[in-house]
Amino acid sequence: MADVDQGGEAPKKASPIVTIAIVAGLSVVAAGGGWFVGNMLAPAPAEAEATAVAPEGEQAGKTGKDGEIPRLATEENGIIALEPFTSNLAYPADNLVRMEVALAFKGAPDPVLAEAIHQDIMAYMRTVSLQQIQGPRGFQYLRDDLKERVDLRSEGRVTNIMFRTFVIE
């Protein structure tokens, strides 16, 4: 009986129009605040390109000829990217491995040596079984084995072997 006023009438319920207006107003304020904070934290793309400068004094984000992004693995940088190859594994023979690796040379790169290493890696992959290279530990063992073979073949002229792609099918 406490709900009844002294006049005997029940209290009025809030109008749905007022509730919708309040929600819409708060949504507009929230969207405006998000836009304002977003513009403060991240400048517009045109401003970002104008202010970003590469170490050589060129604009950052510029592309090379024909709109391509320049590759870092170049002979000028001492890196030779070997051609990708597909080979079957020793066991099971129906499984294939596709690899693309790059070699980092100490000093000037030697394309003839790189091709010999490429052939050596392909021959080695034909002797590896799937069980040997399964999981992260198996991949690390494979990487160590290939690094050792490359070191022996190059007599220390190759400093690193980098896996660009490695897929087993």
Domain 75-168 class in CATH: alpha beta
User: Would you state the pLDDT for residue 100?
Assistant: 93
CA distance 88 to 143: 18
62-113 tens-digit pLDDT: 555 565 656 666 666 788 989 999 999 998 889 999 999 999 998 888 899 9
Entry pTM: 0.56
Q: Which of 58, 51, 121 is nearest to 84 (CA)?
A: 121
What is the rounded CA–CA span in Å between residue 76 and residue 88?
Answer: 33
Which residue matches tokens 């990708």?
Answer: 84
pLDDT given at position 47 = 55
SS3 44: coil
Range(s) for CATH 3.30.479.30 in the chain?
75-168
Residue 122 CA to residue 153 CA, distance in Å, equals 14
Q: For 109-156, how does the pLDDT look when each residue is reduced to its tens digit (9 = 90+)?
A: 889 999 999 999 999 999 999 999 999 999 999 999 999 999 999 998
**Cβ atoms < 10 Å from Cβ of 40:** 8
Q: What confidence category does residue 25 fall into, taking pLDDT thresholds of 50, 70 and 90? A: very high
The mean pLDDT of 16-26, rounded to a whole number, is 92
Let me know: does 86 contact 97? Beta carbons within 8 Å.
yes
